[in-house]
Homo-oligomer: A and B are copies of this chain.
Amino acid sequence: MPTREEFARQLREAQLRVTRPRLAVMAAVHDHPHADTDTIIRAVRKSLGEVSHQAVYDVLHALTDAGLLRRIQPLGSVARYETRVGDNHHHVVCRSCGAIADVDCAVGPAPCLTAADDHGYVIDEAEVIYWGYCPRCREASS
């Protein structure tokens, strides 16, 4: 996993101040891929002691706006975050337990798909969510 210095460098490059909560959030999201806000808050408190939930929300927004984090939100789920950005990869979501896994882009570089009729929209990204059942749930229900 990236070092503390690596995270700090990313923050500076994005014109953001380097603070303990921000470093902790970066580490937490890195360690818990696709984690929801509550999980991230708990992880951050585990490493720093008490931190306000508002601070975590602020940090998640700032880092997302800066492009250091990516926010995803499958139907019926709260917001989730991941550190893997800039490679336009996608996600598989289990309909049963909600587990999420990364999937590489199926058709090349972003935007990796071309709409049949774009209605005049200028498209710059195609976000794909695959729905199905994860190995564990499939086994449990058979």
Contact = CB atoms under 8 A, between A and B. Distances in A.
Give the residue among A105, A129, A130, A134 with the most B Cβ atoms within 10 A. A130
A73 interface: yes
Contacts of A90: 115
Given A116-B103, A118-B103, A126 B128 contact: yes
Contacts of A128: 113, 126-129
Quick one: copies of this chain in the complex?
A: 2
A72 B75 contact: yes
B73 A92 contact: no
Nearest to A95: B124
A115 B91 CA distance: 9
B103 A120 contact: no
30 contacts: A73-B76, A92-B119, A92-B121, A92-B123, A94-B121, A101-B119, A101-B121, A103-B118, A103-B119, A104-B117, A106-B113, A106-B115, A106-B116, A107-B113, A113-B113, A115-B130, A118-B130, A119-B134, A121-B130, A121-B132, A122-B132, A123-B130, A123-B131, A125-B130, A125-B131, A125-B132, A126-B129, A126-B130, A127-B131, A129-B129
Interface of A: 71-73, 75-76, 90, 92, 94, 101, 103-107, 111, 113-135, 138
Given A105-B116, A121-B130, 15 more contacts: A90-B115, A92-B115, A103-B117, A104-B115, A106-B114, A106-B115, A118-B132, A119-B134, A119-B135, A121-B132, A122-B132, A123-B131, A127-B128, A128-B128, A128-B129
